[in-house]
Structure 1
């Protein structure tokens, strides 16, 4: 978008930075709030949904926007920090308009909305939606080719109608660069209908990553709207401990049905986790730590640690065991911390540099004892070993935090309930929201 542009396509606003007049970043744009009008009149743009500290979403009226320039939005610097709550008459341009099926007035042909543009009215700070970018042909993935065209808002109809089975390809393309936690935040703020549509459009791995970052209520809701076979596939793609946490929230018959549909190699570790008492090391551990045999080299260990899909706490140390290498393993021998690996020659055998003085935890270790253990030894992960000396898994600090924090901590973080410090009258203020009917 050109600097000082008076017309902007809303997809170009997704994720761009919002600055105050002093050049300090306020947050990032997550959506555009509009109000649909009757009689084919272009909708008015009420403001922007901006994500600030702690993922709190606030409303910034367009009357507070002084410029929409290349890759950034400039505001007056006065923003109401109350959490944004969508009102009944309001529509989210990104979340609810993209991928809709609407009708061309002139021909009666149905088309799919790929984007909408907004323009600033002359000599005012008011904005309205004025054009619609559409694709002819049936809805579906963006790979399906069809004629695209840009038409006036008045040239299409059907935005005000409730639509069933609305696609999500364009919306997902807009948010494709978001991290799972940020995409989870987007889903959390959508309507239940739209949330289900977007979840259905995600591939199994992406949906699994996003589910792990959602509040439990959203997880259960989304999983419940998937067909059983798809739900089982998504559970297989989740980390076993996260899948176990989610399944534990379901009625017993639903849990067993989904476990039966999962592949045995994926269902077995989940069943083991579910067999331990809630809040114990065995219940919250991950069953997929880095396991090496004693004759492996330091070079091999470092190669395993470099895996970009590995969570940082799991990459902090490797566990050395007799075969088999999958949990439950053969006899547990000891652990090697990442820093020790960096200090040893690459050809060194891991069996010769073990830290065998760190005692492993039994699976019935309680959460308070586990927390004290991690704090005492200043470590971010701990081995869990059964009575026979087999490694069952590892408990990481993020597993512990998940269970120490309140049940609604994800939602609290998404809403940004913690007080934002350093936001004074010169920066983010508490002036009332205007321009929002």
Structure 2
């Protein structure tokens, strides 16, 4: 649902068809999954429970939903067919929130929840439950005897986590506003038992972000305490280079088992990265830079750069290549820095402003060579191209720093520059 589109009441989604980008039906909606938050903050909608042809219930993340309209749900990308399992911090919207007795905060009156509405946040891929449709009257009373009204989520109590609640749910909610690096620092100083409880309560994307910021030993410990299917999901949510680094720390048998459980496309990227020496451009690179065809426009490039889930280093430039667009690409033609994009008219073709003079890195370039390249040309990312001229990926400055800093740098508590708060207070 595009930003600004009408909200959708979830009762209207029950049983509607789910289609892939080709128009083929994947299954039907059976429920929605939300994560409650502390106080009266609207819950975040995590995804949809879909019943496929085999009557298996699977989980479809909202990040893969491109449309919720006209009595159908449209998804993009490959659908993971592993069986849906509800996690401790998750709530089924149809199964657990509807028909619940809650209280209107202003008057203290008890009402019954008949429906809730979802809406996508502007300029983001996140979805929230923002409205509640309720009926006044005593529990069990006939619907026609009670007045109905629609209120903001914050206008009712009885749903969300209490401030004084205990357990990992409340702890996770308390840390919700922390940056991944800060939450990783907190988790590092928890006991192994508590660390595992918090990891179990985090959703896949959040846990993936945090794992990328933890020391190797903590990463291996946490991954080892997850069920294999969940571990594979988290590895898929990680950047391929970080997933490869983590898997390289595991015994060969465990590594191969998890790779087999991952989606084939994700596993292929990680396997390719594992084939390179660790301290080389190939071992350091990510396989997911911004790749554009020569006939793409500056407007197309800027739209890609604006994607919220891109790191600043990856968003700093785009790489122009002939098809295919996925790495390894067709012939690499050059790069365009985002500052150049800002100076050009939107209709300009990226092929006309491409910088082809800067020689890319080969995958076997050593760490000192990569560091020298970034420093010499004042770059925050560098293309990695093989002998055939195909773009394999890009090395970013943050990955280089990971290998230049002392091995235990992640294990030292981060306080930030003197006098600057670290975000925890």
Counterpart for residue 374 of structure 1: 374
Distance 1:251 1:257 in 2: 10
Poorly superposed stretches of 4+, deviation over 2 Å: 143-150, 420-423
- Tell me the SS of whatever aligns to 1:319: strand
Distance 1:181 1:403 in 2: 17
Distance 1:232 1:251 in 2: 15
Distance 2:246 2:366 in 1: 20
- Tell me the SS of whatever aligns to 1:313: helix
Counterpart for residue 384 of structure 1: 384
Within 5 A, what are the aligned runs for 1:30-429? Answer: 167-412=167-412, 414=413
Q: Shift of residue 167 of structure 1?
A: 3.9
Count of aligned pairs between the two proteins: 267
Gap change, CA 1:147 and 1:239, over 3 Å in 2: closer
* 1:50-104 Cα distance to aligned partner (Å, 9 max, x none): xxxxxxxxxxxxxxxxxxxxxxxxxxxxxxxxxxxxxxxxxxxxxxxxx9xxxxx
Q: Shift of residue 215 of structure 1?
A: 1.0
Distance 2:419 2:160 in 1: 51
TM-score, length of structure 1 as denominator length: 0.58
- Tell me the SS of whatever aligns to 2:334: strand
Distance 2:395 2:386 in 1: 14
* 1:169-214 Cα distance to aligned partner (Å, 9 max, x none): 1111112111111111121111110000110011111100111111
- Tell me the SS of whatever aligns to 1:333: strand
Distance 2:302 2:357 in 1: 22
Gap change, CA 1:397 and 1:172, over 3 Å in 2: same
Distance 1:146 1:331 in 2: 53
Distance 1:409 1:324 in 2: 39
Gap change, CA 1:144 and 1:250, over 3 Å in 2: farther
Distance 1:275 1:149 in 2: 48
Query: Is residue 163–residue 170 contact of structure 2 (8 Å, CA) maintained in 1?
Result: no
Query: Is residue 161–residue 170 contact of structure 2 (8 Å, CA) maintained in 1?
Result: no
Greater CA radius of gyration, 1 or 2?
Answer: 1
- Tell me the SS of whatever aligns to 2:312: coil
Q: Which runs of 5+ in 1 are unaligned?
A: 1-10, 13-98, 100-142, 151-165, 424-437
Cα RMSD for the two superposed structures? 2.6
- Tell me the SS of whatever aligns to 1:336: strand
* 1:309-339 Cα distance to aligned partner (Å, 9 max, x none): 1100111110000001000001100100111
Gap change, CA 1:252 and 1:295, over 3 Å in 2: same
- Tell me the SS of whatever aligns to 1:294: coil
- Tell me the SS of whatever aligns to 1:272: helix
Distance 2:394 2:161 in 1: 54
Distance 2:321 2:279 in 1: 26
Distance 1:272 1:322 in 2: 21
TM-score, length of structure 2 as denominator length: 0.59
- Tell me the SS of whatever aligns to 2:393: strand
Distance 1:245 1:147 in 2: 36
The structure whose RCO (Cα within 8 Å, separation 6+) is larger is 1
Distance 2:313 2:237 in 1: 20
Counterpart for residue 6 of structure 2: none
Distance 2:354 2:160 in 1: 61
Q: Shift of residue 298 of structure 1?
A: 0.3
